[in-house]
Amino acid sequence: MPRTKLVNNIICINRSFLLFTLVFNWYMQDALELDLTLTSIFLILNVAILALTNGIGTTLCFGIAPNLVDNEYKYVYVTF
């Protein structure tokens, strides 16, 4: 089933949000001085979710990029 542009944008935004949670995890450890066990669990879960969604992010990049190129340039081959 093909995905719509809205679904692709939602996936990209959610994946970008995971990167900001890494900074928040550092803030929890450093400024708030929360328990190391809690912040370690949060960090492990965050990295695991990033790793699991890595394939989706890469696939989206390769799937969206060809649609952004104008039709006149799609079939131009560059040789060196």
**pLDDT tens digits for range 47-76:** 888 887 777 767 777 777 777 777 777 776
Q: Is residue 43 part of a domain?
A: yes
Q: How far apart are CA 49 and CA 18, in angstroms?
A: 8
Domain that holds residue 44: 5-73
User: Residue 2: pLDDT band by 50, 70, 90 thresholds?
Assistant: low
Q: Is residue 79 part of a domain?
A: no
Q: Is residue 78 part of a domain?
A: no
**How many structural domains are present in the chain?**
1
Distances 16 to 36, 37, 45, 46, 72 between C-alpha atoms, Å: 25, 25, 15, 12, 32
Per residue in 8-35, pLDDT (tens digit) is: 777 778 777 888 888 887 777 777 777 7
pLDDT of residue 3: 65
Alpha helix positions (H), 1-80 = 5-30, 36-52, 54-68
pTM: 0.53
